[in-house]
Amino acid sequence: MNNLVILTGPTAVGKTSLSINLAKEINGEIISADSMQVYKKMDIGTAKIKKEEMDGIKHYLIDIIEPTEDFHVARFKELVVDAISEIYSKGKIPIICGGTGFYIQAVLYDIDFSENEIDKNYRAYLDGFTSDELHNMLKKVDDESATSIPAANKKRVIRALEYYHQTGEKFSVHNLTQRQKKSPYNFAYFVLNDDRQLLYNRIDKRVDIMMEQGLLKEVENLVNQGVKKGMTAMDGIGYKELLDYLEGNTTLEYAIDLIKKKSRNYAKRQLTWFRREEDVIWIDKSIYKSEKEQMDFIITNLKEKGIVKGV
Partner RNA sequence: GGUGCCAUAGCCAAGUGGUAAGGCAAAGGUCUGCAACACCUCUAUCACCAGUUCAAAUCUGGUUGGCACCU
Q: Which is nearer to RNA, 1 or 148 (CB)?
A: 148
**Least distance from RNA to the Cβ atom of residue 253, Å:** 15
Alpha helical stretches, state H, 90-170 = 101-108, 120-127, 131-141, 143-148, 154-167
Q: Which is nearer to RNA, 35 or 294 (CB)?
A: 35
**Least distance from RNA to the Cβ atom of residue 274, Å:** 9
Q: Which is nearer to RNA, 175 or 213 (CB)?
A: 175
Q: Which is nearer to RNA, 285 or 307 (CB)?
A: 285
Q: Which is nearer to RNA, 102 or 125 (CB)?
A: 102
User: What's the gap between Cα 140 and its chain centre?
Assistant: 33
**Least distance from RNA to the Cβ atom of residue 194, Å:** 12
Q: Which is nearer to RNA, 100 or 294 (CB)?
A: 100
Residue ranges that bind RNA, judged by CB under 7 A: 11, 34-37, 45-47, 70-74, 99-103, 105-106, 109, 111, 113-118, 123, 148, 150, 152-156, 158-159, 163, 174-175, 178-179, 196, 200, 232, 235-238, 261-262, 264-266, 268-273, 275-276
The count of C-alpha atoms lying within 13 angstroms of the C-alpha of 151, restricted to the half-sphere facing its C-beta, is 10
SS (H, E, C) 229-293: CCCHHHHCCCHHHHHHHHCCCCCHHHHHHHHHHHHHHHHHHHHHHHHHCCCEEEEECCCCCCHHH
**Least distance from RNA to the Cβ atom of residue 36, Å:** 4
Q: Which residues contact residue 224 at a Cβ distance below 8 angstroms, ignoring those fewer than 6 apart?
A: none
**Least distance from RNA to the Cβ atom of residue 227, Å:** 14
Residues in the chain: 311
DSSP 15-58: HHHHHHHHHHHHTEEEEE--TTTTBTT--TTTTPPPHHHHTT--
Q: Which residues contact residue 213 at a Cβ distance below 8 angstroms, ignoring those fewer than 6 apart?
A: 44
**Least distance from RNA to the Cβ atom of residue 5, Å:** 19
